[in-house]
Amino acid sequence: MAKKVTTIGVLTSGGDAPGMNAAIRAVVRAGISSGLKVKGVRRGYAGLLEEDI
């Protein structure tokens, strides 16, 4: 039986990107409204590898 997804992570690769805050906000709001836990990953991919969540 497949596991149900209950948590999602939000990660950006860093640097300036127009509209990134709005995109992250939309993902977080959609996740929460779907009943998911939403976690942010600090420091991009390095933070993901070092579990800086």
- Average pLDDT for 16-24: 91
Q: How confident is the model at residue 10 (pLDDT cuts 50, 70, 90)?
A: very high
- Predicted TM-score of the model (pTM): 0.80
Q: Are 12 and 44 in contact (CB under 8 A)?
A: yes
Amino acid at 52: D
Q: In whole angstroms, what is the distance from residue 1 CA to residue 28 CA?
A: 27
> Is residue 2 assigned to a domain?
no
> Is residue 17 assigned to a domain?
yes
* Total number of domains in the chain: 1
> Is residue 31 assigned to a domain?
yes
DSSP letters of 21-36? Answer: HHHHHHHHHHHHHTT-
Domain assignment of residue 21, given as a range? 7-49
Q: How confident is the model at residue 1 (pLDDT cuts 50, 70, 90)?
A: confident
| Average pLDDT, rounded, for the chain | 92
